[in-house]
């Protein structure tokens, strides 16, 4: 997102009441995030070929994105012409700095 990007008017979205006063604009709509996550899953499957995928989730902040990404990868595994084995694990990091 460029610095001069103005985003979308928050009235175009269903915002939970407890966030209404805190938000001014929406910069990345949820649908766009889901679309990019699906595209990332397709890229991963294409780049990995038939190699085993080891998926590592950094808790706690990354869980929702991780789950969505794995859902897309699993769907590609089930509906595609090949199936790639996936191992899933989780790690908790005490500090990001």
- Spell out a b/e string for 27-52, using b for 16 or more CB atoms within 10 Å of the CB, else e: eeeeeeeeeebbeebeebbeeeeeee
pTM over cut 0.75? no
- The pLDDT value given to residue 36: 93
**Is 14 domain-assigned?**
yes
- pLDDT for the residue 96: 61
Quote the crossing angle between the two packed helices 63-79 and 30-48, to the nearest 10°. Answer: 50
Give me the pLDDT at residue 71, please.
95
**Number of domains into which the chain is organized:** 1
- Match 């595994």 to its residue by tokens: 77
pLDDT (0 to 100) of residue 68: 94
Considering the domain boundaries, does residue 39 fall inside one? yes
Residue 60 lies in a domain: yes
Look at residue 97 and tell me if it is in a domain.
no
pLDDT at 79: 87
Query: Which stretches of the chain score pLDDT less than 70?
Result: 1, 96-97
Q: In terms of Cα–Cα distance, which of 97, 63, 95, 72 is closest to 86?
A: 72
């Amino acid at each position: 997102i460029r610095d001069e990007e103005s985003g979308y008017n928050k009235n175009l979205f269903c915002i939970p009441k407890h966030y209404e006063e805190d938000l001014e604009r929406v910069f990345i709509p949820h649908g766009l995030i889901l679309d990019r996550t699906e595209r990332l899953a397709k890229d991963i499957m294409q780049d990995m070929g038939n190699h085993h995928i080891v998926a590592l989730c950094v808790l706690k902040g990354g869980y929702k994105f991780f789950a969505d990404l794995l859902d897309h990868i699993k769907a590609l595994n089930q509906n595609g012409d090949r199936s790639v084995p996936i191992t899933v694990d989780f790690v908790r990091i005490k500090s990001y700095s």
